[in-house]
Amino acid sequence: MQAIRRVSEPMIERRGALDNRVCVRFGLNRQPEEAWVRVFRAHAASSVLSATNALFGASEASIEVAKPSGVAELATALDCFIECANLGLRSFPGPAPERQPTVFREQSRRLDRA
């Protein structure tokens, strides 16, 4: 199945003059499955943009975010959320757990087998 990707530039809709948040609409190449939406929402919510209220239609999505510094920052963040969802990466609340170096893991496996 083809990976989901953004097919249009993000369109920013201001909510109010004093509000620090904006609603962003963007097109997708196809409708995502529910599992994909859950991963997207988790990554978006844990980002610096504190994204909420992500809604998905057949070929369009909208999401509420903290006001970005510019369209480039917003586009990069959206693409990151999409790619993480495509890969099925888990989102962790807080810093990601440290990974052991590959050499150490290999040595641990050898010791476990002995």
- How many whole angstroms separate alpha carbon 89 and alpha carbon 66? 23
- How many whole angstroms separate alpha carbon 54 and alpha carbon 49? 13
Each domain of the chain, given as residue ranges in start order, spans 11-93
Entry pTM = 0.73
Contact 45, 39 (CB under 8 A): no
Count Cβ atoms below 10 Å from residue 111 Cβ, excluding itself. 8
pLDDT values of the chain reduced to their tens digit, one per residue, 114 residues: 689 999 999 999 876 665 788 999 999 999 999 999 999 999 999 998 999 999 999 999 999 999 888 899 999 999 999 999 999 886 655 544 444 455 545 555 566 665
Count Cβ atoms below 10 Å from residue 21 Cβ, excluding itself. 17
Angle between helices 71-87 and 34-45 (to 10 degrees): 130
Count Cβ atoms below 10 Å from residue 9 Cβ, excluding itself. 13
